[in-house]
Amino acid sequence: MAPAAGVGREGAHMSFFDLVLHNITVKKLRLALTSLAVAIGVFAVVALGVVTESLKQSDLAILQTGLANFTVAQKGVSDLLSSNVDIASTARIRALPGVASVTGVLLGTARLNAANPQFLEIGIEPSELAPFGVTVLQGRAFGARAAHEILLGWRAAQSLGAHVGDQLTMDENRFRVVGIYSTGQAFGDSGCMVPLAWFQTFQRQPATYTLLFVRTSPNISVSALQGRVDRDFPQLVAIRTLEEFGRADRSLSLVLAANDGASILAVVIGAIVVMSAMSMSFIERIREFGVLSAIGWSRRRVAAMIFGEAALTGVIGVAGGLVLSLLAVTVVAQLPNLTGVLHPVYTAGVFARGLLTAAAMVLIGALVPSVRAASSKPMDALRHE
């Protein structure tokens, strides 16, 4: 007959879970410190993962703005807004066989108000609005040489409560809203569009663009044309997918690398802390393991108890880490320089990565102590002082 999991002070039998819970709560400070280590690891992975997903979604939104088959940017810039494509390269790309159209835009940000410290501005020729996929919902398009006329995205207009004919001040420049537009994409509809010629002069970037949106002719291989742009223009990069975005924007590559590094570091540090805590517990409880073996506990059951204690500690750490990460992301998103820029994106993948990180900490950290506890010989353990 299998022995009971444990016996309480008054002789009442304890379930296996109750025994595990009792064991980890005996040393409350150790439980708190070990759970904290797991929580910090989960916090780092989830918080950085949310920020990374937010940046990836913003970059994806840029690629999806405009009716283009691929986008061309300067290679290896610190961030996409620093990209610079000259007018001569634009003309050469426009002349390539298989290119139906090329729309050049100049991107920038301006302070609109406290809630929008980096409001998106898109400089574009009014003749390119329709090819770019812009639909003017209300009002009209701005003039090609107009200096103080803007089109406002419908999402931005809704958020600001602005209408056609209203005045807006951005970076101490006053503009009149002459129309409300839609691109069918949240990123583009949350900013404004201004005359390209005026914007190039204001930004002191004459005859240059930030991005080129390229449309191919029917029955043309997009990948082949993309490859030709990469070969013929070594200072530029053609982007079609989010995975290729890092070739243009180094900051995204750095954030992705930091995210991977944080996960690895969290597993290593967390596993060491869990292993240390469980090893201390093993040393203190050698006689207990000897007694359990003597009354008939199998090695598998002893190891399961150690893993159960580590897992329960990990669960507490995961809960704390998730709460910390959600609070941290909320606070960071409200910082003055990031208000309206960082839009937290919570995906199942981010939380799954946090859970897998915690699981790796627990499994690796509890492996050696559980093997040592399961392999303890009853007589040796009982003789231990």
How confident is the model over 145-164, as pLDDT tens digits? 888 899 999 999 998 999 99
- Mean pLDDT, to the nearest integer, of 318-337? 85
Structure confidence at residue 247 (pLDDT): 66
| Least confidently predicted of 118-122, 206-210, 332-336 | 332-336
**Separation in Å, CA 305 to CA 49, 96, 99, 249, 316:** 32, 68, 66, 49, 17
Q: Does 308 have pLDDT greater than 50?
A: yes
How confident is the model over 183-242, as pLDDT tens digits? 888 778 888 999 999 999 998 888 899 999 999 999 889 999 999 999 999 999 888 876
Structure confidence at residue 167 (pLDDT): 94
Q: Does 181 have pLDDT greater than 90?
A: yes
Q: In the predicted model, what is the mean pLDDT of the chain?
A: 83
How confident is the model over 53-68, as pLDDT tens digits? 877 777 777 766 777 8
Phi, psi of 146 (to 5 degrees): -65, 140
Residue 301, by phi and psi: left (phi above 0), alpha (psi -120 to 50) or beta?
alpha
Q: Helix, strand, coil proportions of the chain in percent (round to 5)? A: 55, 20, 25
Structure confidence at residue 190 (pLDDT): 87
Q: Does 338 have pLDDT greater than 70?
A: no
How confident is the model over 340-376, as pLDDT tens digits? 566 787 888 889 988 888 888 888 888 888 887 777 6
How confident is the model over 83-99, as pLDDT tens digits? 899 999 999 999 999 99
**Six token digits for residue 287:** 């006689």
What angle is formed at CA 29 by the lines to CA 25 and CA 30, rounded to 5 degrees? Answer: 75
- Mean pLDDT, to the nearest integer, of 328-340? 74
Q: Which of 11-20, 222-231, 274-283, 360-369 has the highest mean pLDDT?
A: 222-231
- Reported as half-sphere exposure (CB side, CA atoms, 13 A), residue 167 has a value of 4
Q: Does 304 have pLDDT greater than 80?
A: yes
Structure confidence at residue 233 (pLDDT): 94
Higher pLDDT, 33 or 6: 33
Structure confidence at residue 100 (pLDDT): 92
Q: How many residues appear in the chain?
A: 385
Give the domain ranges of the chain: 13-58+253-383, 70-239
Phi, psi of 135 (to 5 degrees): -115, 120
| Least confidently predicted of 103-112, 180-189, 240-249 | 240-249
Q: Does 9 have pLDDT greater than 50?
A: no
